[in-house]
């Protein structure tokens, strides 16, 4: 009998516009672990004017971008909001980094103070620097190395953050981790990132999966269990060491 074949279909949402600091590396990392357990990763770019079919994908990466790219993406994203909500509410696994994380919420305020609508499929929002800081971003961005701890799993994650937006979590959302060192979502409440259903959001570049193999494996397991529930993925993944940098 032929060996069963397993594959995951990945949507790289606006990968041609939102790919700050090589966020695509998250998919490379996912593939690195997937291949070791015999799983193929197929990647499709889903960008401006493309349909997003929630039934087609097993994992979505929505990377970070600068304010200008975010405004372009925000306009197009409205046309995909319903399908993305369906995907998220049906426990579709996703990683949303920085700008991508911001646009899933209600709104984000750019460095010049302009408010850009998100699609509100999650309850967070992102404010600007305080008034006296607008137009002088110097020293006001939340930039540098960051370490957080996820209190549910005890795992620590390491990365690099560079954002002016201050994100505040809302209903049904919990932080990806508590800030150990660095700034996090807003520099005030010690939260970093988000977990909502199977969506993981974060300000970490680096990329987060490359530097934190334990998180990459966790999300890979989410995607595999959802698609192939009869296979013991935990046992398979246990044999694969998680790389950390
Ligand atoms: N433009 C956003 C900010 O600075 C997002 C930046 C990013 O994605 N790196 O807040």
pLDDT over threshold 90, residue 2: no
Whole-number pLDDT of residue 21: 85
Token digits of residue 207: 């990329």
Residue 203 CA, ligand 1 centroid: distance in Å: 8
Whole-number pLDDT of residue 66: 92
φ/ψ (deg, to 5) at 243: -80, 140
* Cα(48)–Cα(182) distance, integer angstroms: 34
Q: How far apart are the first and last CA of the chain?
A: 41
Pocket test residue of 13, 67, 118, 168 for ligand 1, highest count of atoms within 8 A of CB: 67
Our answer to whether residue 135 is catalytic in this structure is no
DSSP designation for 245: -
pLDDT over threshold 90, residue 4: no
* Cα(54)–Cα(57) distance, integer angstroms: 6
Percent of the chain at pLDDT > 70 equals: 94
Whether the CB-CB separation of 177 and 192 falls below 8 Å is answered with yes
**Residue 56 CB coordination number (10 Å):** 13
Whole-number pLDDT of residue 100: 98
Residue 53 CA, ligand 1 centroid: distance in Å: 27
DSSP designation for 187: S
Whole-number pLDDT of residue 244: 87
Residue 74 CA, ligand 1 centroid: distance in Å: 13
């Amino acid at each position: 009998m032929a060996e069963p074949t397993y594959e995951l279909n990945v949507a790289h949402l606006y990968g041609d516009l939102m790919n700050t600091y090589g966020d695509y590396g998250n998919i490379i990392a996912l593939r690195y672990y997937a291949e070791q357990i015999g799983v193929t990763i197929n990647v499709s770019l889903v960008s401006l004017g493309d349909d997003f079919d929630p039934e087609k994908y097993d994992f979505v990466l929505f990377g970070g971008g600068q304010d200008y790219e975010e405004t372009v993406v925000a306009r197009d994203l409205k046309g995909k909001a319903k399908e993305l909500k369906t995907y998220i509410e049906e426990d579709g696994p996703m990683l949303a980094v920085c700008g991508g994380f911001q646009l899933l919420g209600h709104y984000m305020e750019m460095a010049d103070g302009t408010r850009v609508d998100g699609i509100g499929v999650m309850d967070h929002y992102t404010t600007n620097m305080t008034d006296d800081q607008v137009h002088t971003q110097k020293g006001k961005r939340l930039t540098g190395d960051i370490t957080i701890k996820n209190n549910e799993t005890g795992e620590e994650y390491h990365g690099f953050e560079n954002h002016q937006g201050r994100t505040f979590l809302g209903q049904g959302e919990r932080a990806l981790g508590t800030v150990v060192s660095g700034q996090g979502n807003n520099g005030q409440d010690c939260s970093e990132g988000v977990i909502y259903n199977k969506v993981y959001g974060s300000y970490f570049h680096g990329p987060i999966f490359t530097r934190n193999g334990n998180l990459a494996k966790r999300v890979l397991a989410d995607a595999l269990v959802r698609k192939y529930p009869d296979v013991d993925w935990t046992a398979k993944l246990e044999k694969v060491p998680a790389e950390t940098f």
